[in-house]
Amino acid sequence: MVYEENKTEAVEMRHIISILLENEAGALSRVAGLFSARAYNIESLTVAPTDDPSLSRMTLVTTGTDEIVEQVCKQLNKLVDVVKLVNLTDDVHVERELILIKLVAEDERRDEVKRIMDIFHGHVIDMTDTTYTVEVTGDSEKIDAVLKALEHITMLEVVRSGQLGMARGDKGIV
Amino acid sequence: MELTGAEIIIECLKAEDIDYVFGYPGGAVLHIYDAFYKQDDVQHILVRHEQGATHAADGYARATGKPGVVLVTSGPGATNAVTGIATAYMDSIPMIVITGQVPKHLIGNDAFQEVDSVGITRPIVKHNFLINDVNDIAETFKKAFYVATTGRPGPVVIDIPKDITAEKVAFEYPSEINMRSYNPAVVADEGQIKKAVELMVKAERPMIYSGGGVIIGNGSEQLRTFTRSLGYPITQTLMGLGAFPASDPLSVGMLGMHGTYEANMGMHHSDLLIAIGARFDDRVTGALEKFCPDAKIIHIDIDPASISKNVKVDVPIVGEVTQVLDAVNALLEKAAEKTNKGAIEKWWAQINEWRAQDCLKYDRESEIIKPQFVIEELHKVTNGDAYITSDVGQHQMFAAQYYGFDKPRRWINSGGLGTMGFGLPAALGVKLAFPNEEVACITGESSIQMCLQELSTCKQYGLPIKIINLNNGYMGMVRQWQEFFYEKRYAMSYFDALPDFVALAESYGHVGIKVEKTADVRPALEEAFKQKDRLVFLDFITDREENVYPMIPSGAGLNEMILV
């Protein structure tokens, strides 16, 4: 019996959703407002104009059961500003995130940080006598790994861009 | 020729064939009011509070199927309209709300009477716009009407800064509009329709469950053909009443929290549920885990987001109700005779057994006026043909249970949001749309006081609606819950000081009649409807502690009703 009950429990999964929306004032708040109004999760959200300045591309990471995420997508599609929506999770796709970290780098730490950056293909993009600012890009697992690798070093500031995503293959979103 | 922004707004309304605008002036919309003053094509109805404007426009829209239009000023004008906008949104009513805004250079400056109207209304509109340029007014209006009236309808707010309404530009109303991000036209999948018809024909214990979407989508005729060709029982939601005639023997009445025994038991024991334009609201389903345990579910709806939102559906069909039911009916012309006659006969026998319970019985001999009796008498006096608006509470449920609506768009109430104060202004809007029809507002002494000021509007425009005030001295539904679930601790559910409603009606220039005995109910109603050109406020002093039965307590299933 115990096993059966466990089986029926709905599994929460991470979903990455790509959205094309009108590049208009208020469009972003419609999306963000929908999530807060309906008590959906947002793990990360990035948005910027595309090559077509009238459109913005948004990548949104959320967690939920399949039913909830299906509702999220339907509700997002209902927003008049949303032109097109794809749940990238359904198919093979690439994900990238950028992290900037400002950390204390003195004495032997300066070499150590550079070595860690080499391993993760990151770069030192700014420095002072006592600090480095580094950048690393990758999927979220890699970004988490970088943070773990630097755990023992004092970090002054951390900023992550949130996920960007795109389906693999020759098809575009529109 | 160049027109001012304000004049363009009027031209847009004319182009959309709008005859009434409900509104209230203020600083930010004075240019628009000046433009109204200079023309006679669109009539402005001056309400006494912006909430009244939205409900009046809403009532007008529900009765006619045309969009209601509201005009209010910035700041408090917009915030007062919020309740009415949310009311329309919850019930998918097409409405355009024009809100004035402070001049562009003052936006964000905490200016006098400034609020972020677009921000405040965002979660309660289908869409909203802030116009930044006088050149955009015409196109924005075209878009707003298009969005508000197509697909699943809803309110659209247009926020217009004052300075723009004074600027001049050439006017041209777009003949059509194309929005790449909004495509409401959906054609239902034929395969799904065939699958649904197969299930319908095979069903042994079917139940048709139709909702407000059938009325909004003008699908009443199709629903009647559909239901009658199958001969299956049909239950309707609070919002759907009238789409199928209550007097037809196939109708088992309303379902849900205060639905009939036969409707709710029929739902619970069905093996096939055919949901049409209904959204499985929590007041309909009761406890979700106990909902229709044996039923396969077909769900026809215009809004894909309604499908499997609360209850997992087996055969979803997304499309316009008329188009889907036409297609279903075409298939049923041949298929309907293949239904399982034996099983259906047995099913009806079972339903009739439930029906024999007579769940809507009440003490008809009572000398104290029973609210149910007033509604039944109202039905008789108006031949069941009046437009009935209501407020929210016990009287609303009594009206839904006892009036017996045979036509769509006759029953006008705030189902989703449950807005007290809706009834009177809504009735005003209906009466403007149908001056030759009887319009009655069924209300209670608590609800009526929430938008009472519109009695004055009715006087100004000569709107002889009839107000049926079921006065039990309590917020009846709150009291009922307190009786059932809070051991009769009637916290704040009564008023220590009620107005003399007769004197009050008279002070507004109307007729007031107080009715205290059962024997006087019928004559009072007849007298009221005889007064064709007067608003009559009927104050019925009813049984103070009458309850609405049946009732499904929260957390219970549809088969767990409290009966009389």
Query: Is B162 a residue of the active site?
Result: yes
Q: Is the peptide bond before B408 cis (omega within 30 degrees of 0)?
A: no
Segment A41-64, tens digit of pLDDT: 899 999 999 999 999 999 999 999
- Position A6 scores a pLDDT of 45
Given a cut of 60, whether residue A11 has pLDDT beyond it is: yes
pLDDT recorded at residue B186: 84
Chain A residues touching B147 at Cβ < 8 A: 80
Q: Is the separation of the CB atoms in B465 and B473 below 8 Å?
A: no
Annotated catalytic residue, options B39, B43, B113, B350: B113
For B480-514, what is each residue's pLDDT tens digit?
999 999 999 999 999 889 999 999 999 999 999 99
Contact by Cβ (8 Å): B392, B399 = no
| Chain B partners within 8 Å of A78 (Cβ) | 303-305
Q: Does A74 touch chain B (CB under 8 A)?
A: yes
Task: Give phi and psi for A87, each to the nearest 5.
Answer: -85, 100
Q: Which residues of chain A are within 8 Å of residue B316 when distances are taken between CB atoms? A: none
Beta strands, E only, B295-348 = 296-301, 315-318
Token pair for B196? 């649904």
Let me know if B112 is a catalytic residue.
yes
CA atoms within 13 A on the CB side of A91: 13
Q: Answer yes or no: do B181 and A75 touch at CB < 8 A.
A: no
Angle at B219 between CA B214 and CA B225, to 5 degrees: 115
> Could you tell me the pTM of the whole model?
0.95
- If phi over 0 gives left and psi between -120 and 50 gives alpha, with beta otherwise, what is residue B361? beta
B307: nearest CA partner in chain A: A71
Q: Are B251 and B314 in contact (CB under 8 A)?
A: no
B130 contacts A78? CB cut-off 8 A: no
Instruction: Examine the predicted complex and report whether its ipTM is higher than 0.85.
Output: yes
Integer Rg of chain B from CA: 24
| Nearest chain A Cα distance for residue B84, angstroms | 19
Local confidence pLDDT in tens for the 564 residues of chain B: 899 999 999 999 999 999 999 999 999 999 999 999 999 999 999 999 999 999 999 999 999 999 999 999 999 999 999 999 999 999 999 999 999 999 999 999 999 999 999 999 999 999 999 999 999 999 999 999 999 999 999 999 999 999 999 999 999 999 999 999 998 878 999 999 999 999 999 999 999 999 999 999 999 999 999 999 999 999 999 999 999 999 999 999 999 999 999 999 999 999 999 999 999 999 999 999 999 999 999 999 999 999 999 999 999 999 999 999 999 999 999 998 999 999 999 999 999 999 999 999 999 999 999 999 999 999 999 999 999 999 999 999 999 999 999 999 999 999 999 999 999 999 999 999 999 999 999 999 999 999 999 999 999 999 999 999 999 999 999 999 999 999 999 999 998 899 999 999 999 999 999 999 999 999 999 999 999 999 999 999 999 999 999 999 988 999 999 998
User: Could you confirm whether B50 is annotated as catalytic?
Assistant: yes
Which of B16, B50, B320, B438 is flagged as catalytic?
B50
CA geometry: angle at B370 spanning B369 and B376, to 5°? 110
What pLDDT score does A174 carry? 63
Q: Cα(B315)–Cα(B297) distance, rounded to whole angstroms?
A: 6
End-to-end CA distance of chain A: 47
Q: Angle at the Cα of B187 (from B185 to B191), degrees rounded to 5?
A: 160
Interface mutation vs chain B, best among A74, A76, A77, A174, most B CBs within 10 Å: A74
Write out chain B residues lying below 8 Å of A30, CB-based: 122
Helix, strand counts (H, E) of chain B: 21, 20
